[in-house]
Amino acid sequence: MSKSAYVTDLKGLQGECTANYVRLTRLLGDLEAGETREVVLANHGRRLGVLCLKLQERAPYTSIVRVSQRGVLDAVLETPQMRVHLYHDVRMAEVTDFQRQRHFDGRYRYPNSRMHQPDEKLQLNRFLGEWLDHGLAHGHSIDLPELP
């Protein structure tokens, strides 16, 4: 029985990148380049960590944001961090760097030497979306923009 090759879900990836753009622009608000917004993540009054969004660069068509998190397990685990490019002309945000790895392909043969999943790029962008959704749902910051 032959195994069919993974086909990139381009529509799903574009949808995730568009949703992440909306999430990030809500969280970033009117930050200027070099500024950081920290969103305290809490559940039932218990502090779980801090979502850090640093706007590294802002240009008319592209911005770069460093997304990271600090928390109670920092001494045990490597803290998650990624770099995200926001493309303002097409209103999309894409993960371009995760845990110091760069340039993810749309699909990978599996198995491969780095053990990337066939849909690694889509999974990273979905992870960003879940992370940002959690920050929007459970985050607390006096700087956070109000819902419309």
Domain ranges of the chain: 30-140
pTM of the predicted structure, to 2 decimals: 0.78
Classify residue 74 by its DSSP letter: T
Q: How far is CA 20 from the centre of its chain?
A: 7
Which tokens belong to 84? 């995200």
d(CA 135, CA 128): 11
pLDDT score of 13: 84
pLDDT score of 94: 94
Structure confidence by residue, pLDDT tens digits, 63-83? 999 999 988 767 676 788 999
Q: Which of 97, 94, 104 is nearest to 125 (CA)?
A: 94
